[in-house]
């Protein structure tokens, strides 16, 4: 019989027991329904023949079914579980195959008043409290990248800006007869960490929101979230405790001519060591206020805000990054004549699910400045103040969609010097549906985007100047050749040059040192492929990618990755 099972046996049997109970129930009634995803992929990756020092070829793939059971025992309760059945291409007779519980939760309405959820929960609050910021360069992907990136997001439960958490949640709504419209109340507790190593205490994240909906379009809310340890989960004599709490008030007031938007709050990091001594108390604060105006029958939205995020504002739930730049990509770990361990590149962001982060972490995660050093932690990036302007436009026929963003920021406090950096981040993304514009029968769409990021600081001869610039542009074409058969083309080009200091922080995010880095290089990702759409949720695609990295400082760091893959993706 099969002896090399890849998953914990106990877990598997729990899963299976559960599954079979469900199946047994299914045989008796129709309170169980099925949805899910199934996907098969084969890919060939290779380095150019000029690379004679590294593992240079990789062929493989996998096939999987995510079977989602929706169980409705009674009208107000829904139990849902997703079971993954997967096998690797090249694993025969049980090798590389296994069962996995992807998610399980229950939700329902108690006593007609309270909504509850328990298990795996996707949750977000505000950009400063609990918010899963998009990964770099993920807005307005060319269609050829979008299909693939969406799979990585699905793999990592990155649905919108919500974080996938495990715990419980309760919410309700109060209806008012006068003064205000409604009020939404919710509270949650998630488990962030449980290691069972006898040393590390369990860590929870709890929070609550109370929103007063003055009208249907205006609200004021209070948000609170706290990431905290439970010392007693280690032993009764332990005192070590960490907590990071954030409290904010947010508002969205529709003032007929424009909307006032804003949020302000404080954060704290507190740490009690094993001797019950409070060694860390860091307080931070932020505010953001601005106006938003929607014009032309909701087709053009303009907004402008000013924000100030202090250098010691820390919010684990809002500053954890979606892409973990400390991860070594799965594909070709070492490259180039220098045989160095490469870092996450443009191709990995689209194709490698393993570089995505699924956990809220209290430490500011690593980032790669060449991708975005202006707002690496989203709006909640600490030590930033300045203006943000946005303009979003979509015409009534959805022929043209455009998003323009400009952030003019500055440090709140100098880092390593009293001089403050100035930042500019400009982003412009567009999509034109030419088939709508020219009344064509077949789809013809163009996407294009550009991002420009820069930081400047005069070193005054004491330290090196900061002058990092990075420019990224992408373009994509989607052309339907015959019914549902598309040709897809996409390219993403990134050029960067300059000097920047990277902060080295301790576990409480205190800067302990700086690392001077000089960048000068380019990255290019060029793709072409074909896609057949069975319907909106099912497609077959064949794609080829080439990624190039050129390091102008040392050409021995240059490398290229080539890739061809076929993917059959079904959502049902």
**The one among 89, 230, 260, 489 contacting another protein by CB under 8 A:** 89
Residue 114 touching another protein (CB under 8 A): yes
CB of 10 to another protein, least distance (A): 7
Residue where the block lists tokens 């490398």:
559
**The one among 28, 74, 112, 196 contacting another protein by CB under 8 A:** 112
Residue 572 touching another protein (CB under 8 A): yes
CB of 136 to another protein, least distance (A): 20
CB of 91 to another protein, least distance (A): 5
CB 87 within 8 A of CB 107: no
**The one among 193, 219, 307, 322 contacting another protein by CB under 8 A:** 219
Closest CB to another protein among residues 251, 453: 251
CB of 144 to another protein, least distance (A): 19
List the interface residues with another protein, window 194-213 (CB under 8 A).
209, 211
Residue 38 touching another protein (CB under 8 A): yes
Count of CA atoms in the C-beta half-sphere (13 A) of 537: 7
Residue 87 touching another protein (CB under 8 A): yes
Residue 222 touching another protein (CB under 8 A): no
Closest CB to another protein among residues 89, 475: 89
What stretch of H or E contains 192? Answer: strand 182-193
Residue 149 touching another protein (CB under 8 A): no
CB of 365 to another protein, least distance (A): 23
Counting every residue written for the chain, the total comes to: 572
CB of 79 to another protein, least distance (A): 11
Task: Look at phi and psi of residue 151 and say left if phi exceeds 0, alpha if psi is from -120 to 50, else beta.
Answer: alpha
Written as six digits, the tokens of 145 are 């990248």
Torsion of CA 354, 359, 362, 365, to 10 degrees: 20
Under DSSP, is residue 81 helix (H, G, I), strand (E, B) or coil? strand
List the interface residues with another protein, window 528-547 (CB under 8 A).
532, 534-535, 537-538, 540
Residue 3 touching another protein (CB under 8 A): yes
Size of the site for another protein (CB under 8 A): 102
Written as six digits, the tokens of 246 are 């954030």
Residue 511 touching another protein (CB under 8 A): no
Closest CB to another protein among residues 108, 524: 108
**The one among 25, 73, 96, 436 contacting another protein by CB under 8 A:** 96
Residue 95 touching another protein (CB under 8 A): yes
CB 512 within 8 A of CB 501: no
Closest CB to another protein among residues 119, 459: 119
Q: Report the C-alpha gap between 214 and 183 in whole angstroms.
A: 8
Written as six digits, the tokens of 373 are 């050093």
How far does Cα 86 stand from its chain's mean position? 24
Closest CB to another protein among residues 30, 439: 30
Closest CB to another protein among residues 313, 539: 539
CB of 187 to another protein, least distance (A): 10
CB of 75 to another protein, least distance (A): 11
Residue 387 touching another protein (CB under 8 A): no
Residue 2 touching another protein (CB under 8 A): yes
Q: Among residues 133, 230, 115, 138, which one has the least CA distance to residue 184? A: 115
CB of 456 to another protein, least distance (A): 36
> How many CB atoms sit inside 10 A of residue 331's CB?
20
Q: What are phi and psi of 151, to 5 degrees?
A: -70, -40
Query: What is the pairing mode between strands 182-193 and 114-123?
Result: unpaired
Q: Which residues contact 54 (CB under 8 A, 6 or more apart)?
A: 47, 332, 334, 335, 336, 339
Written as six digits, the tokens of 552 are 């102008």
List the interface residues with another protein, window 236-255 (CB under 8 A).
none
Residue 183 touching another protein (CB under 8 A): yes
> How many CB atoms sit inside 10 A of residue 121's CB?
19
Q: Report the C-alpha gap between 544 and 528 in whole angstroms.
A: 5
Under DSSP, is residue 431 helix (H, G, I), strand (E, B) or coil? strand
């Amino acid at each position: 019989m099969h002896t090399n099972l890849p998953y914990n046996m106990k877990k598997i049997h729990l899963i299976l027991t559960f599954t079979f109970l469900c199946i047994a129930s299914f045989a008796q009634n129709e309170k169980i329904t099925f949805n899910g995803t199934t996907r098969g992929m084969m890919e060939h990756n290779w380095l150019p023949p000029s690379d004679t020092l590294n593992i240079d070829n990789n062929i493989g793939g996998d096939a999987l079914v995510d079977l989602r059971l929706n169980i409705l025992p009674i009208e107000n309760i829904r139990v849902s579980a997703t079971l993954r059945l997967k096998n690797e291409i090249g694993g025969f007779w049980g090798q590389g195959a296994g069962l996995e519980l992807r998610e399980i939760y229950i939700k329902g309405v108690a006593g007609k008043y309270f909504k509850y959820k328990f298990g795996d929960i996707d949750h977000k609050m505000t950009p400063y409290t609990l918010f899963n910021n998009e990964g770099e360069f993920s807005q307005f992907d060319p269609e050829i990248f979008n299909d693939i990136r969406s799979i990585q997001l699905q793999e990592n439960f990155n649905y919108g800006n919500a974080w996938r958490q495990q715990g419980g949640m309760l919410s309700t709504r109060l209806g008012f007869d006068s003064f205000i419209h409604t009020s939404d109340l919710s509270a949650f507790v998630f488990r962030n960490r449980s290691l069972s190593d006898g040393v590390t205490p369990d860590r929870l994240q709890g929070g609550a929101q109370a929103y007063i909906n003055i009208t249907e379009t205006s609200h004021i809310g209070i948000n609170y979230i706290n990431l905290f340890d439970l010392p007693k989960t280690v032993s009764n004599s332990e005192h070590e405790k960490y907590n990071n709490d954030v409290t904010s008030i947010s508002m969205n007031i529709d003032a007929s001519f424009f909307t006032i938007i804003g949020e302000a709050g404080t954060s704290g990091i507190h740490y009690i060591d094993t001797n019950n001594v409070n060694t860390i108390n860091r307080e931070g604060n932020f505010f953001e206020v601005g106006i938003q105006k929607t014009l032309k029958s909701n087709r053009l939205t303009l907004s402008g805000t000013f924000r100030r995020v202090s250098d010691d504002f820390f919010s684990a739930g809002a500053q954890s990054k979606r892409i973990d730049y400390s991860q070594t990509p799965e594909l070709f770990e070492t490259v180039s004549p220098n045989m160095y361990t490469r870092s996450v590149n443009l191709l990995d962001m689209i194709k490698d699910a393993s570089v995505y982060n699924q956990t809220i972490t209290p430490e500011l995660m690593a980032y790669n400045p060449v991708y975005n050093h202006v707002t690496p932690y989203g709006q909640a990036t600490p030590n930033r103040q300045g203006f943000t302007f946005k303009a979003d436009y979509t015409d009534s026929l959805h022929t043209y969609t455009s998003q323009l963003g400009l952030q003019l920021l500055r440090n709140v406090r100098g880092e390593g010097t009293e001089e403050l950096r100035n930042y500019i981040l400009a982003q412009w993304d567009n999509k034109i549906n030419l088939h709508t514009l020219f009344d064509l029968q077949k789809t013809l769409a163009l996407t294009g985007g550009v991002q420009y990021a820069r930081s400047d600081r005069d070193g005054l001869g004491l330290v090196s100047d900061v002058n990092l610039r990075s420019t990224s542009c992408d373009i994509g074409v989607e052309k339907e050749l015959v019914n549902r058969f598309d040709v897809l083309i996409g390219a993403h080009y990134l050029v960067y040059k300059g000097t920047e200091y990277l902060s080295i922080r301790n576990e409480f995010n205190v800067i302990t040192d700086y690392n001077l880095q000089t960048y000068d290089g380019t990255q290019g990702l060029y793709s072409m492929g074909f896609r057949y759409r069975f319907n909106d949720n099912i497609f077959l695609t064949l794609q080829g990618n080439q990624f190039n990295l050129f390091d102008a400082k040392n050409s021995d760091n240059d490398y290229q990755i080539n890739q061809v893959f076929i993917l059959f993706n079904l959502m049902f």
